[in-house]
Amino acid sequence: MPARKGAAGARMYVIVVGGGKVGYYLTKTLLGEGHEVAIVERDEKVCRKLELDLGEILVHADGSTPAGLELAGAARAQVLTAVTGQDETNLVACQVARTFFNVSRTIGRINNPKNEALFRVLNAGTAVSSTQVITDLIQREVDTRRIQKLLPLATGKVNLFEVDMADTSPVVGRNVAELSLPPGSLLVAVLRGDDVIVPDGRTQLRKGDRLIAVAQSDREEELARLLFGAEA
Amino acid sequence: MFIIVVGCGRLGSSLARSMAGAGHQVTVVDWNPQRFERIADLSEVAQVLGTGIDIDVLRGAGAEACDALVAVTDHDNSNIMIAQTAEQMFHVRHVVARVNDPRTGPLLETFGIQSVCPTQLAADALFATLQADWHGETPKSH
């Protein structure tokens, strides 16, 4: 596969800690996007398996230690992502990268979604929980309300929502200016058929519109009540 | 004092035994129920089954109310994480972590965690014992 430039056009040096399935495919994907990658794996057996395929970018070391990350050249890395199967190892790897090597962007894989709070409090970077991602997807399926969380921003302080406008919505037919959107929330786009409308005060909401809104997490209920009335 | 010991291996169980013997209130946390056999005779020590790197397990063990927490699982990174959880999430006043790898010491210092490294203590003690033993002797060779 020919290397192509990443979406942002910048080539970055990324350290991947953990040579399991997630680490392996992440490394292959990042290489495919044209980035420079080092993959750090502590287990010798796993290293032997990866070696044939990944060659010189493989570093046999403990990526949760200063010595291991030194070996991987962490001082010049823009991004470190720790994706071993152990939350504690991923946390410490992110902390070591930030504290000892000033890596500004660190991403840790977590199994227990509750560890996200710890990442935040310890300023260890972004925690990614596949458990949480899958839970959210399932939740979206069973959510009878037509307001769906698309993306948490600033680690969940603010969320991006998609709202399906049903004909029973009390705001159908109203202009955006007439809505009293709760403070801490913003309507950013109206999806109507194939059109994307960036709304202003005069934009009229119609049945079947899909609204993209940003709201602080404590304003979600208020927003739902406004858009769906008692139904929510 | 109300003390939580996370990890019921040889070190954790011995520690729980000493502290309970000294009259402290002790709760031990371990994910492996078999490990509690080591403290089966200590009826006054509470046992909590669960992994110490889970905030809810620590809360259930009384982390919000404890005076001290000692992280002595077999894994250094787990101990680092447990100690930081105790300090940052539960504001436990006295926290100590055990680390096996002597090179991890400086790391914990950077993170502001008190630690004890049994490996280093044993190395120092062994060396000191030998030195006392050969005190005054002249070496056979240079």
Q: Which residues of A touch B88 (CB under 8 A)?
A: 118, 121-122
Which sign does the torsion angle of CA A84, A90, A92, A93 carry? positive
Interface confidence: ipTM more than 0.90: no
Residue ranges of the domains in chain A? 13-130, 143-231
Which tokens is A124 given? 């260890």
Given A66, A67, A118, which is nearest B85 (Cβ)?
A118
Is this model's pTM higher than 0.80 or not? no
Give pLDDT, residue B66: 97
Residues of chain B short of pLDDT 50, as ranges, are: none
Which residue does chain B place closest to A66, by CA atoms?
B107
Superfamily of domain A143-231: Regulator of K+ conductance, C-terminal domain (3.30.70.1450)
Q: Which residues of A29-39 are buried (b: 16+ CB within 10 A; e: fewer)?
A: ebbebebbbbb
Given B78, B89, B110, which is nearest A88 (Cβ)?
B78
Which sign does the torsion angle of CA B114, B117, B120, B122 carry? positive
Give pLDDT, residue B11: 95
Measured CA to CA, the distance from residue A42 to residue A52 in angstroms comes to 17
Contact B56 A114 (CB under 8 A): yes
What string of pLDDT tens digits covers the 232 residues of chain A? 444 444 456 899 999 999 999 999 999 999 999 999 999 999 999 999 998 889 889 999 999 999 999 999 999 999 999 999 999 999 999 999 999 999 999 999 999 999 999 999 999 999 999 888 888 777 766 665 677 788 888 777 898 988 888 777 888 888 988 888 889 899 999 999 899 999 998 999 998 898 999 999 888 888 888 887 754 4
Superfamily of domain A13-130: NAD(P)-binding Rossmann-like Domain (3.40.50.720)
Q: Across chain B, what does the average pLDDT equal?
A: 94
Summarised one tens digit per residue, pLDDT across range B29-69 is: 999 999 999 999 999 999 999 999 999 999 999 999 999 99
Q: Looking at the complex, does the CB of residue B104 fall below 8 Å from at least one CB of chain A?
A: yes
Residue among A79, A84, A128 at smallest CA distance from A101:
A79
CATH 3.90.25.10 fits B2-133, yes or no: no
Give pLDDT, residue A13: 97
Instruction: Count CB-CB contacts under 10 A for residue A21.
Output: 10
Structural contact between residues A121 and B88, judged by C-beta atoms closer than 8 angstroms: yes
Q: Is B73 helix (H, G, I), strand (E, B) or coil?
A: coil
Give pLDDT, residue A10: 83
Give pLDDT, residue A1: 42
Give pLDDT, residue A25: 94
Which residue does chain B place closest to A99, by CA atoms?
B110
Q: How many Cα atoms are found within 13 Å in the side-chain-facing hemisphere of A14?
A: 24
Give pLDDT, residue A154: 77
Give pLDDT, residue A144: 59
Q: Which residues of A touch B55 (CB under 8 A)?
A: 114-115, 117-118
